Chains A and B, each alone.
Chain A
C-alpha cells in the first residue's frame, strides 16, 4: 500500500479497524455514536437517517414527522411514472439495480419527482421566515439559466392536472402539521394547511404531494439538496416491490400499448399506421 494514501474526508462516519486487518471494521461510529455496539436494536431507522445528515437528533416530534412522511412516500403506486419505469425493468427481468435506477431517473424529474421538491424547497428557502411570501415566490419561480433539467412548466409543488386537492394530499398535510404543531416543529406545514385553499386559488392549481413533502423537509431543517435526495430515497421501496411483482407476473399481463404513428413511410392511410405490435 502506498504510504501517501490520499484520505477521504468526512464528518459523518468513523471506523476503527480490527487489529489484524485495516480493512475490517471493529467499530463504526455515526456522528460519534457506536452504530453496531449501541444503536442497533435501540435506535429507530429515522434516527440514523437524520444523523447521517445532521450532528444532532431533532425533537421527538420532528422524528415522528419524518417517519410519518416516510410511510406516506414509501409507495407512489403503479400509476406513478417512477414506479412505472421500475416495472418496465422488472417485467423484462432487468437487474435489481437497473429497476431502482429506472425509478430514480424518472422520479428525479420536475413532474411528480424530486426536482419538483427541490424547486418548492428553494422557494421556501428564498422567503425565510416570511411564510406569507411563499405563494408569490413559488408563483414566479424561475431558475433562469439554461439547465440540464427541462424548464419548469408551472409553480413547483402543485399538480398541473389537478382539479381539486386530492384527499390523500390533504390528509398527509393535516397529519404532518398536527404531529409537529405542539412542539412548533411544523410552522410551514401548519401555515400551508391553514391557507391551502387561498394559496391554491392564487396559483390556480391544487397542491401535490411533492409540495407537502417540500414543506415538511423544510420544517425538518433540510436544505433543498437534502430534501431532493430524501424524496428519491424514500420513494424507492414501492418501486422495488412493484418491479418484482411484474417480474413474477410476466410480460403478458403488462400493457404494451397500441401506437398511432403519424409519420409512416409505408402508407399515409390511418389503417396501416394504427397497427398494434
Chain B
C-alpha cells in the first residue's frame, strides 16, 4: 500500500532534497528537516487506520514487489501490531530530534539534518521489512548516518566512540548475513513470512546444532544492538559522545532494532534453539539489569548514567522476551516503547542542561530547580516515569515483564526486581544532586528556563508518558494479539506433536509439556487445534 511506501521513501527523498539546500542557509535546512519529518509523522499516523477500535493480527498494510530478480529478493514491507508502534516511535522522535538540535547544532548544519533524515529512512525500514535481505539492507543503512552523527557532531572522544559503535554492530551483523544466506540456500526464499510458515508447518527443520548456530548468528547481531550484557560496552561511549539528537535516536529507536529483531526473527524462526538458550539469555539479561543499574549509580557523568540505565532497562525487555509468556512478551514490547519515550526524554533534558551549562558532570550542577523551575518539574516527571512510578509508562511495562518472568521462573523476577529498586536510587539521586540544594553562581547565571521550542519538543513525550501509563488500553491490545501469535509460533514442536502442542499452549504448564503429558490429554482437545 502506498501509505507505508510514502513513510519509507519520504525521508529518502527528503535526504536528497536537503542535500540541495544551500550550505550557507542553515535555517532552511532546519526548517526543511522539520517539515519533512513532521510530514512523515503525519503520514505515518495513517498506518493507525486498521487499528481503530479493532485488533487485527498479521499484516494490515503490505507492499510486496520484486526488487532483484535473481536471487529472488523482494521489496516486501508491511506493518503489524508490533511494527506499527515502533514505526510511529521513529517518526515521532525524528521531528523531536530536529527540534532539540535547533540551537545545539551550529556547525555543518546542512549535513546534520540530511543525515538525521537519512537515519529515519533506515530505522523505519528495519521495522517494516519482511524480506530478510531487505531487512539486512535497512539494518546496515541505518548504521551509516548514525556513524556520521556521532563522529562529526559529537563530543571530544567522538571518533573513538563512533568507530567502536560501527565496528561492533558491523561485526555482529555479518554473521547474521551468513545465517540469512544459509536460510536462503536451504529454502530458496528470503521472504520472512514464507520462512516462518515453513518452520511452522514443519517443512523446514534444522538439525539441533545447525538451528543453534543460526539462532546464535541472528541473536549475536541483535544482542550487540540491544545491547545485552556483556556486549554493551559500545553503548556508554556512543551515548556520551553523541550529540543530543544522536543520543535520542540511538536510545529511543536504534536499540529497539535489536529487541525487535529478537521478537520478530529469533523466536518464530528458531523456536527450539530460543527455548534452549532462554535460561542463559535470561541470566545475561538479569546481569545486565543489575550491573547496568549499579554502574549507573556511580557515574559522575549524566549522559553515562542515562546510558547505563538504558542497559538496565533493555535487560528487562530481553528478560520479558525470553520468559516466553504472554505477559512477559507484552511487557517487553511495551517497555521498548516506554524506553523510547522516557529515555529519549531524559537524553533531551540532559541535552538541555548541557546547552546551558556546557558540562555533563553532575558535580557541575546543583540547585537548578531555583532558576529553572519548569525544567525541574519536567525532569521530575521524566525521572519518575523512568523509575516506574504507577500511572506513568514504565510501570506498565516493568510490571508485565516481572509478572511474565515470575511465571517462567520466580527467581528471575526476584533478581530483576532489584533493578527497579536500584533505578529509583540512581535516578532520584541524580535528580537530587542536579536540581536541589543551593544554586552556584555559574548555575544560576546560565540556567534559564525552558524555551517554547524546548517545550514543543518535550511536551509530546510527557503526554505520552501519562497516556501510556494510564491508558495502556490504547496501545496494548494490538500489541498483545500480535504477541500471542508470535508466542504461538515460538513453541517448541517436534514432528507429529505440532498440532497437539498448539492446544497445550493455553495450559499453564505449556513450556514443560512433553510427549508424555501430551498423551494424557483428552483427545478432543488435541483435535480442537486449529
Q: Do A and B bind each other?
A: no
Q: Give chain B's interface residues, CB within 8 Å of chain A.
A: none
